[in-house]
Structure 1
């Protein structure tokens, strides 16, 4: 067992059990006044920023302002957990400058946050950012603590000392797979894991042996590779959870082009998958442009309906095992949207991007919609016409009885249960009916 002493750069956060502290102002748009700098330091590269009314300093930590939307989603989910359970203990396993920890403390009203980052040179930045809005407190009233361990070591120590958390944020670079099991061990049942991957090259099918090693999935190039990245991450979590006798359920899945960044919010519970069909194989036919999901007992019988031959050659590719089930929980996303409206993050001409994202995710949750998406450029290329307007294409699909929604992952793409051949027919008909 690790011996956490002052020499380890941080007082142990594991030797106490925080209780509910004084409630903070729940309006995340309130601007908080910075307290005097208790941790002075000289850093010419440091920069002050404001996010949702909270001032913080970045120092030399890696920080992306483009990730603010991902942090918004995390705070909304954490706050819903607090409202549902009445308590919220958060572990920010790779906290950087501490902005996520700060936002969980203030925006989600977390009772306690453990802000961990392996780089001990970030200690003053993290502590200063947190103490600006929330005094650390002492003993059972302590609201936050800072440690500097490898993320796996920090989570393993929590597990060993039986200090479990309700919400664990693992915002890592590259593959997140090495942290998944440690996070699950340190999480309470029915708790939430906010997992991350930035490995867009592997999700594109360019390194299938890397995806196999990291997530247990052999990934081949497919036209909706960024959705495959989310399904690869969820599938890896499904595999890790099953080893421990647990199951995970995705509450929402978010892709952002910068990085790229794949983030999924997972709920952990005991037991097996409710539906085994959601963890299987995905096939894509380059000939006809259609995709299919296959279960484990269908291995060896995989073929595309456009041909009578079994899978062979480069025209049909199969990836898996992956998560083939829903990426989002529509009811949960609706709660998040309602909370964002209560906080004035969306509505009345504000927060258009966040509102658009949440509504698109809700639309994507239609159970009639299959995995993957179709880019209208691909439809146009196959039909040898100009790409039809997305809104008109979707309206026509709805009129013909098909389910269709925009994809939050790709701007000129739709999710639909309409086969590619029918999409081509509709696009050709629109070419004749639309004005030149």
Structure 2
């Protein structure tokens, strides 16, 4: 690598060489500083997950780029004994070696292999596999399902939001085997389509997948979940698949095992799915996350509230627009719903979104009162 075209970036406890200039997929070695929050959350999640186990961990940073993610895991999570940092790009391979040396980390095995070949060589080996691609994670999930061990964890990023969020539904159907739908809650729907796909892939190997934390942030979705190797766990996960029904006329939404139904307002429901219809957060897991900075603290505070609410997601602006009402503040709507003895919280899926178990009629009533 040409050292003259690189600079040193500090993130977390790591210092790494990265290429300078505009970030594109064609960079000699890909590094995106805007994914720092993703990496911060991932490190915090891996810490909590490791504390839940009683063994030293072996992990895989599958698409390592400059190596910053895997290096941070080794530096910041005490229980990681061994980490495979892999990238098929020969230039990335060289810069990872340089960055591992710069940080003086031990326990790093640096590989220069095609990702699926590497995973296929390590069946049921890893306590944690991190898949952070430029685009869709679909090409890597089948082999990742075989490489993660019982009781292990998967971290999955997707940046192909266009298909998942409903802009390109044909691509989503082709890629994920599910119909996406562009609505006020399209990003939560996209996350649920992705989780549903992960569940279907793992279940084919008699492994169940339980999401512990899922969120969207700007241009990506991030999923963190636990893997259990058992037919009953796989069956339970598959039983959580269904459809999100959505009425474009009145804004009502619900989960169902079926994709065709008539809304109470008389209109036919549109639908998205198949997708995961269960909880996207484990409240005990979320409570254990330790924020690293003020941005993450704000995120975790919302997450902790949301993880305790078993309900549907609504966008406040969309509800107001459909009912020709003035927009209200999210916190005012949440307070009103709680005063009426319903569970409600803000959501990490957007600054105007609310999660609640209240029926739509009560939500509209609260908006009118405010």
| 2:182 counterpart of 1:221 | yes
Q: For 1:45 and 1:413, locate their aligned partners in 2 and report how far apart those are by CA, in whole Å.
A: 43
| 2:13 counterpart of 1:53 | yes
Q: For 2:63 and 2:71, locate their aligned partners in 1 and report how far apart those are by CA, in whole Å.
A: 13
Note the alpha carbon deviations across 1:107-150, whole angstroms, 9 max, x for none: 013211110011011222111211222355xxxxxx11111122
Q: CA deviation at 1:231?
A: 0.6
**Structure 2: runs of 5 or more not aligned:** 20-27
Among candidates 272, 276, 284, match of residue 246 of structure 2: 284
Q: CA deviation at 1:275?
A: 6.0
Structure number with higher strand proportion: 2
The corresponding residue for 2:22 is none
DSSP 3-state at the match of 1:158: coil
Q: For 1:281 and 1:245, locate their aligned partners in 2 and report how far apart those are by CA, in whole Å.
A: 23
Q: For 2:215 and 2:301, locate their aligned partners in 1 and report how far apart those are by CA, in whole Å.
A: 13
Q: CA deviation at 1:299?
A: 5.2
Among candidates 190, 209, 214, match of residue 170 of structure 2: 209
DSSP 3-state at the match of 1:44: helix
Q: For 1:135 and 1:180, locate their aligned partners in 2 and report how far apart those are by CA, in whole Å.
A: 28
Deviating 4+ runs (over 6 angstroms): none
Superposed counterparts of 1:156-305, under 5 Å: 156-159=120-123, 164-257=125-218, 260-270=219-229, 271=231, 272-274=234-236, 277-295=239-257, 298=258, 302-305=261-264
| 2:363 counterpart of 1:402 | no
**Structure 1: runs of 5 or more not aligned:** 1-40, 137-142, 346-350, 431-436
Q: For 1:205 and 1:305, locate their aligned partners in 2 and report how far apart those are by CA, in whole Å.
A: 25
Q: For 2:330 and 2:324, locate their aligned partners in 1 and report how far apart those are by CA, in whole Å.
A: 17
The corresponding residue for 1:14 is none
The alignment covers a number of residue pairs equal to 357
Counterpart contact for 1:277–1:325, Cα < 8 Å: no
| 2:42 counterpart of 1:62 | no
The 1:135–1:100 alpha-carbon spacing in structure 2 relative to 1, beyond 3 Å, is closer
* Greater gyration radius: 1
Among candidates 62, 73, 81, match of residue 41 of structure 2: 73
TM-score by length of 1: 0.78
Does 206-215 or 272-281 show the bigger shift?
A: 272-281
The corresponding residue for 2:25 is none
Q: CA deviation at 1:251?
A: 0.8
Q: CA deviation at 1:244?
A: 1.1
| 2:277 counterpart of 1:324 | yes
Note the alpha carbon deviations across 1:212-254, whole angstroms, 9 max, x for none: 2222212122221111121111000011011111110001002
Q: For 1:198 and 1:171, locate their aligned partners in 2 and report how far apart those are by CA, in whole Å.
A: 9
The corresponding residue for 1:96 is 65
Q: CA deviation at 1:102?
A: 0.5
The corresponding residue for 1:149 is 113
The 1:303–1:416 alpha-carbon spacing in structure 2 relative to 1, beyond 3 Å, is same
Counterpart contact for 1:169–1:195, Cα < 8 Å: yes
Q: CA deviation at 1:361?
A: 1.6
Q: For 1:291 and 1:422, locate their aligned partners in 2 and report how far apart those are by CA, in whole Å.
A: 14
Counterpart contact for 2:286–2:307, Cα < 8 Å: no
| 2:364 counterpart of 1:424 | yes
DSSP 3-state at the match of 1:336: coil
DSSP 3-state at the match of 1:47: strand
